């Protein structure tokens, strides 16, 4: 069972999924957002090392989930790309040069 602290750490650790082009991090980020929605109150303060309060709202987390899911859809993995029936590979077996 994940704790609120672990969910927050995973949220921060995986927020750079797009910059690193990492589907694994994007999936972990979505999981962290979902855990934050479950484990924290609807509006919660988190005091960081700077002493500033950060707020996570459910609507902001939902927006982050949608953004990550959109990124995943736009960046399929190699297995998904190779299974795409719209991709046509040329056949040069009869080509004479």
Among 54, 67, 58, 69, smallest CA distance to 35 is for 58
Task: Give tens-digit pLDDT for 10-47.
Answer: 999 999 999 999 999 999 999 999 999 998 865 545 55
Give the C-alpha separation, 71 to 81, whole Å: 15
Average pLDDT, the chain: 82
3-state secondary structure of 86: coil
Looking at the chain, the whole-number percentage of residues with pLDDT higher than 90 is: 52
The pLDDT value recorded for residue 81 is: 57
Indicate the pTM of the whole model.
0.70
Task: Give tens-digit pLDDT for 48-94.
Answer: 565 445 567 889 999 999 999 999 999 988 665 555 566 666 777 77
């Amino acid at each position: 069972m994940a704790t609120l602290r672990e969910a927050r750490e995973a949220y921060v650790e995986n927020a750079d999924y797009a910059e690193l082009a990492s589907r694994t991090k994007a999936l972990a980020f979505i999981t962290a957002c979902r855990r934050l929605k479950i484990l924290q109150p609807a509006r919660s303060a988190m005091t960081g090392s700077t002493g500033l309060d950060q707020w996570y709202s459910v609507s902001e987390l939902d927006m982050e989930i949608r953004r990550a899911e959109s990124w995943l859809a736009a960046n399929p993995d190699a297995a998904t790309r190779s299974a795409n029936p719209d991709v046509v590979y040329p056949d040069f077996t009869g080509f004479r040069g």
